[in-house]
Structure 1
Amino acid sequence: MEQDHVAHTAMGVPYGAAAPPPYGVYPPIAYQQAPPPPPPQQHQLQDFWAEQCREIEQTTDFKNNSLPLARIKKIMKADEDVRMIAAEAPVVFARACEMFILELTHRAWAHAEENKRRTLQKNDVGAAITRTDIFDFLVDIVPREDVREDAAAAAYAAAGDPLSYYYVQQ
């Protein structure tokens, strides 16, 4: 057994490992292409959602909300089909609205940083809406002429930006 171990490692292969494939089985280096690195915004969004999940799991006090529950309840009652609203509904809806606002702001901030600005502008929000298919319902609300994509953002979208679920050319 010891002799087999020595013979196997002498060939350059650790004991118990498979021998390397014969020469010519690997594709040439020119054909191997490394995947592009993920944009930093993708990592930031993953961290954002992970933090949101942790916050939700750790929440024990549902009385402190960032948005006014009375206003949310009033908006919910504006629909004529809504007759009664459970006490928990405005609380859950307030949290959902808060998360929506945070993600939209996060994506708009990513657009501002791409344009090397530190001031969030209306066109950044418009770009975030235009780039993300889950925000399609807002496309008619935000004027399209205010949304200007620079060359870097257009190249980002063309390269398969994971943040860019859906991109509409102007």
Structure 2
Amino acid sequence: MDRQGHNTSLPPFGDVPYLLDFATDTNPNQFLYPEQELQQPQSCRSYWVDQYREMEETSNFRRQRLPLAGIKRIMKADEDVQMISAETPVIFARACEMFILELTHKAWAHAQERYCTTIEKHDIVATVNETDYCDFLVDIRST
């Protein structure tokens, strides 16, 4: 572990996390191309390992950082949605939280490359532009 409590072993990193058994997997970077592995700062490499560990250790899934009522209201805004199970907003809240955390983490890496300690709008725009799974943000990333 480093000074900030992050695991220093290298996780699989990329646009899609691979949920591996890190205790038994000898090479968690087996899914990365060498240039992908070198491009990621150490703090980004440990992100998915930390997220995976946090999910494994979580026992109370009802306690979320995002409001479940708001997520359920957004889901019900779709005309095709008729019923929502009790677990669905909890899962969506966790997925949204992970998305926000990763986007913030990558934007912070951009800010550090500029020797800044504050994430600015252009750090987030640069992160969205270079991340494939953020294509749904195409309408707002140029502003």
Same-fold call, TM > 0.5? Answer: yes
Once superposed, what is the RMSD of the aligned Cα atoms?
1.7
- Determine if the alignment matches structure 1 residue 112 to structure 2 residue 111: yes
User: Which stretch shows the higher mean deviation, 80-89 or 111-120?
Assistant: 111-120
Report the AA paired with residue 142 of structure 2: P
TM-score (norm 2): 0.71
Report the AA paired with residue 91 of structure 1: V
SS of structure 2 residue aligned to 1:143: coil
Q: Which runs of 5+ in 1 are unaligned?
A: 1-34, 145-170
Deviation at 1:115, TM superposition (A): 1.0
Residues 75-133 of structure 1: per-residue CA shift (max 9 Å, x gap): 00000000000000000000000000000001111111111111110110000001111
Aligned length: 109
2: distance between equivalents of 1:40 and 1:128? Answer: 13
- Give the aligned partner of residue 85 of structure 1: 84
2: distance between equivalents of 1:72 and 1:124? Answer: 27
Larger radius of gyration: 1
Deviation at 1:40, TM superposition (A): 5.0
Deviation at 1:44, TM superposition (A): 2.1
2: distance between equivalents of 1:133 and 1:46? Answer: 18
- Give the aligned partner of residue 70 of structure 1: 69
User: Which stretch shows the higher mean deviation, 119-128 or 132-141?
Assistant: 132-141
Report the AA paired with residue 75 of structure 1: I
Residues 33-83 of structure 1: per-residue CA shift (max 9 Å, x gap): xx8782452x32231101111111111101210000000000000000000
- Give the aligned partner of residue 14 of structure 1: none
Q: Which runs of 5+ in 2 are unaligned?
A: 1-33
2: distance between equivalents of 1:72 and 1:51? Answer: 25
1: distance between equivalents of 2:110 and 2:138? Answer: 17
SS of structure 2 residue aligned to 1:140: coil
SS of structure 2 residue aligned to 1:99: helix
Structure 1 segments (4+ residues) deviating >3 Å: none
